[in-house]
Amino acid sequence: MGLFGRTIVTFLPLAPRFIVGWVAKRYTAGENLGQALELMRTLSSEGACFTIDVLGEEIKSIDESSWFINEYESVIDSIVDSGIDANISIKPTALGLLIDEKSALSNIERIVRKAAKDDIFVRLDMEDNRVTQATIDAALTIQHQGLENIGVVLQGRMFRTPDDISKMSKLLGAKSDFRICKGIYLEPPEISYTSYLDIVDSTNRAIDLMLDSGSYTAIASHDIPVIEHALKSLESRGLGPGKEDSRHNPPVPMRKGKGPGYEFQFLLGVRGNIRRDLSNKGHRTRIYLPYGEKWYEYGMRRLRENPGVAVHVTKSLFMPWTNRR
């Protein structure tokens, strides 16, 4: 299957752009904010909430960050005006983290501070290992400035993740907020797990560590073994639909737009049937919803980084009933 995925990735750039666009439209919400808002209004009827991501990353000059700042400020205003249940996710490299950390931190803080005025949560996406520590440091710095509406993504495949969970949860206590996923970046075997079973096992262990630390735990996975493990872990800890988060004494008030200590997250266009089932059972479910003109670069970059995604996409195209949006 690995060879099959790599073969698809090799030949997909040779396909006409409209074919790639036909594939990408399932997994992106359009090229502009208006299209994204329209789709969210439609999907809201399924009981979902959203994390909005503006496509683009790793800018070439710090001046390019201005466009992303302005766009995210428009996103925040639109969330408030529309009343849609949504927060935002930003890639630190789109705000200059690989160019000038000080400027990038200032850019991130500006967005987080604006979002905080309307109690909108900001998730810092985790990119490859070049910026892992810098991303964590940015979140901690902003938290220590009194802005608590920020959290990070951690990747189950990374060897360092258990230590990161421990350190951050000890520093932030009940204010620690993680999104845990397997991780799409194919990191070197010296710093990450590389086999499917090892990655699933390490992701499951990370979920348990997050739940036991008292952190808010956003479980972002489309893998059945991870979802099943998470459900069992929640039940064994007394967490679930209609139950208060009893991990803290005194109890911690539930934040706006959050679940009772946890939620499930899915990429737009993936495992819609499972998401709807979880929602119908009372679990808070969130759709990660990217939009923007960089849809082609986004799709091709993700395929190059993880050819296994190509197999999933191909299966969805030829057997669409296996993966309803």
What is the pLDDT at residue 308? Answer: 56
233 within some domain: yes
Q: What's the Cα-to-Cα distance from 307 to each of 11, 22, 129, 155, 296, rounded to whole Å?
A: 12, 18, 19, 18, 16
Report how many domains make up the chain: 2
Task: Read off the tokens for 191.
Answer: 């710093």
Q: Cα(107)–Cα(87) distance, rounded to whole angstroms?
A: 17
Clarify whether residues 9 and 139 are in a common domain. Answer: no
Burial class of residue 205 (count of CB atoms within 10 Å of its CB; 0-12, 13-18, 19+):
middle
Clarify whether residues 82 and 102 are in a common domain. Answer: yes
Task: Read off the tokens for 164.
Answer: 């990161």
160 within some domain: yes
Host domain of residue 8: 1-26+308-325
Clarify whether residues 124 and 217 are in a common domain. Answer: yes
296 within some domain: no
Q: Cα(108)–Cα(91) distance, rounded to whole angstroms?
A: 9
Clarify whether residues 11 and 113 are in a common domain. Answer: no
21 within some domain: yes
Q: Cα(106)–Cα(128) distance, rounded to whole angstroms?
A: 21
Ordered alpha helix ranges (H), 150-246:
161-172, 196-213, 224-236
Clarify whether residues 61 and 204 are in a common domain. Answer: yes
151 within some domain: yes
Short-list 114, 126, 118, 123, CA closest to 157: 126
Q: What's the Cα-to-Cα distance from 183 to each of 141, 146, 199, 291, 309, rounded to whole Å?
A: 24, 29, 9, 20, 12
Clarify whether residues 89 and 226 are in a common domain. Answer: yes
The CATH number linked to 87 is 3.20.20.220
What is the pLDDT at residue 201? Answer: 98
Clarify whether residues 13 and 113 are in a common domain. Answer: no
pLDDT truncated to tens, each residue of the chain (325 aa)?
456 555 655 655 655 565 566 566 677 888 999 999 999 999 999 999 999 999 988 899 999 999 999 999 999 999 999 999 999 999 999 999 999 999 999 999 999 999 999 999 999 999 999 999 999 999 999 999 999 999 999 999 999 999 999 999 999 999 999 999 999 888 999 999 999 999 999 999 999 999 999 999 999 999 999 999 999 999 999 999 999 998 998 888 888 999 999 999 999 988 899 999 999 999 999 999 999 987 676 666 655 555 555 555 555 555 555 545 5
Task: Read off the tokens for 319.
Answer: 């057997």
Q: Work out the angle at residue 24's Cα, subtended by the Cα atoms of residues 194 and 48, and round it to the nearest 5 degrees.
A: 85
What is the pLDDT at residue 270? Answer: 85
298 within some domain: no
301 within some domain: no
Clarify whether residues 196 and 225 are in a common domain. Answer: yes
Q: What's the Cα-to-Cα distance from 87 to each of 78, 257, 281, rounded to whole Å?
A: 11, 8, 23
Is the whole model's pTM more than 0.85, yes or no?
A: yes
Clarify whether residues 245 and 99 are in a common domain. Answer: yes
Clarify whether residues 172 and 108 are in a common domain. Answer: yes
Q: Cα(31)–Cα(28) distance, rounded to whole angstroms?
A: 8
Phi then psi dihedrals of residue 112, to 5 deg: -65, -40
Clarify whether residues 125 and 2 are in a common domain. Answer: no
271 within some domain: yes
Clarify whether residues 172 and 50 are in a common domain. Answer: yes
Task: Read off the tokens for 234.
Answer: 């929640």
What is the pLDDT at residue 10? Answer: 62
